[in-house]
Structure 1
């Protein structure tokens, strides 16, 4: 796939080299039509390659090793299942349906640490861990941290509301990802799945399956991710 870059960012020598190659080809009167076609294709391939490499994004910045070591040391019990990424990963750009009926994306939450939980009304482990996520939100939720719960796949809004009522959760959002677009773009293959997103909007860790999110270990990890003071 050819990367597209703004015209002003394209190296000017690319066009010069291609035009020079084409001029040389057409000036050769004895060159057959097939050779002209091959030459033109070669010129296009060269141009595409140069544009691709000139427009490539820089490699993702690696996480601070000392920071990773600090977080790793805080992992005990269920939190040992939490996988910390050596390099921050991009998150989905797809939109999800908010509880209020509008649309939002994960980019809307940049500026705060996010615990993103994918769940479903049929998911038994989700029922077990959701109250613990609610406890995290009650203790740390605010301008620096938020628990965002997104029901992915076919989940009836009434059933979602009943699910929360039955487990006594009233401080988490009933967002929906009915087409599983967000979950699919983020490679979520099973539920529950929980993703930690930093204030820059990048995924920094992931845990598959349910976990004891109200444990001392989980809280220590969340506290380590929040601004000091």
Structure 2
């Protein structure tokens, strides 16, 4: 319990020192579509699954910044940005940051596996939200939608539409957010 209290305190203290207005001012290129919230927002605790059926929730990623991308195979802009998300995970992914891509609704696992192989997507696991439990609770009404979570597991920004996530502008902005806590 003491660890949880300390983790929550540190997470809140970190955001208190952060400056969403400054991050908004840093946005360039596709990142102009990434809108930082004035205050962190809670996220759903709904579960999603990996290719083997193991359950996960966004709470499993607590302690790091997480870029959660909701996508589908039938969504052309979604398919176009997946290689960039994979490259971003390959470059920035680790103890402080992770890209989580969730295939929403009906996406056949063999088709996703073929898509990953065809586009050399090696750094992203296959994660599924087949009943739209998480995406519905997070108000994902269109695809793609990408949300940025702080280490406390709260939504601090949202982008509607696709983006060049492996661009210099995106990496610079994400590094600044991570540096601020």
* TM-score computed with the length of structure 2 as normaliser: 0.87
- Once the two structures are superposed, residues 69-99 of structure 1 have per-residue CA deviations (whole angstroms, 9 ceiling, x without a partner) of 3211220111111111011011111000123
Q: Secondary structure at the match of 1:226?
A: helix
Aligned to 1:113: 65
Please state how far the C-alpha of 1:64 moved relative to its aligned partner: 4.8
Greater Rg, structure 1 or structure 2? 1
- 1:82 corresponds in structure 2 to 34
Tell me how far 1:146 sits from its aligned partner.
0.5
Q: Please tell me whether the aligned partners of residues 117 and 195 of structure 1 are also in contact (alpha carbons under 8 angstroms).
A: yes
Distance 1:125 1:166 in 2: 16
Counterpart of 1:187? 139
Output the CA distance in 1 between the equivalents of 2:22 and 2:169.
Answer: 12
Q: Is the 8 A contact 1:75 1:217 kept in 2?
A: yes
Is the contact made by 2:104 and 2:131 (CA closer than 8 Å) also made in structure 1? yes
Determine which structure has greater relative contact order: mean sequence separation of CA pairs < 8 Å that are 6+ residues apart, divided by chain length.
2
Q: Which ranges in structure 1 are unaligned for 5 or more consecutive residues?
A: 1-59
Deviation, 1:168, is 1.7
- Other-structure match for 1:3: none
**How far off is 1:166 after superposition?**
1.7
- Counterpart of 2:81 in structure 1 is 129
Quote the offset at 1:226 in angstroms.
1.9
SS of residue paired to 1:85: strand
Provide closer, same or farther for how the CA distance between residues 66 and 137 of structure 1 changes in structure 2, counting only shifts above 3 A: closer
Q: Equivalences for 1:152-191 in 2 at 5 Å?
A: 152-191=104-143
Deviations 1:25-71 (A, max 9, x none): xxxxxxxxxxxxxxxxxxxxxxxxxxxxxxxxxxx99x659611321
CA pair 226-66 structure 1, distance change in 2 beyond 3 A: closer
Give the superposition deviation at 1:171. Answer: 1.1
Instruction: Quickly say closer, same or farther: Cα 1:222–1:66, change in 2 above 3 A.
Output: closer
Which one of the candidate residues 202, 206, 213 is aligned to 2:165?
A: 213
Distance 2:117 2:159 in 1: 25
Q: Which has the higher strand share?
A: 2
Structure-1 residue corresponding to 2:19: 67
Distance 1:227 1:76, change over 3 A: closer
Contact 1:144 1:227 in 2 (8 A): no
> What is the rounded CA distance, in whole Å, between the counterparts of 2:77 and 2:117 in structure 1?
16
- For structure 2, the residue ranges without an aligned partner over 5 or more in a row are 1-11
Contact 2:64–2:95 (CA under 8 A) maintained in structure 1: yes
